[in-house]
Amino acid sequence: MDLAKLVLAIEASADGSEYLDYSIQRLFGLKKPVPLYTRSVDAALALVPEGFSLHRLQQRTDCRGNFASWLAELYRATDVVIDIPSTSSAATAPLALCGAALRVIRALQDAADQRGLPEIVAAHATR
């Protein structure tokens, strides 16, 4: 699955799943067992690229006294303003974290492609 489509699928999903976990794992080379990226906050945090940190993880409300969705935002301490998409909103905290991490990975990969650098996803897998 294409990385952009995977991010959209994660953000649209009502809950984490084995299929989404497997789709994420395929980006980094298969290993067993497949981590529960979309169902575990700890596993989702493992996707955060090196140099980035979790800035905000919050549950949003619908302004009627009910919780609606989760928002995850990553940041890089070396940047005053991050010029890449680093925020994701999804139904659960792990899904929001996965979405934000994969958005950053995709943006870093696009930037590396423009400069002719090695693929960022491959570099992330060796971490």
Q: In terms of Cα–Cα distance, which of 2, 16, 22, 5 is closest to 97? A: 16
pLDDT tens, 39-49? 999 999 999 99
Round to whole Å and give the CA distance between 17 and 19: 5
Q: How far is CA 43 from the centre of its chain?
A: 11
pLDDT tens, 57-76? 999 888 888 888 999 999 88
**pTM of the complete model beyond 0.85:** no
Judge whether residue 114 has pLDDT over 50.
yes
Q: What is the mean pLDDT of the chain?
A: 86
For residue 78, name the pLDDT band (cuts at 50, 70, 90): confident
Judge whether residue 126 has pLDDT over 90.
no
Round to whole Å and give the CA distance between 54 and 33: 25
The pLDDT of residue 102: 95
CB 36 within 8 A of CB 95: no
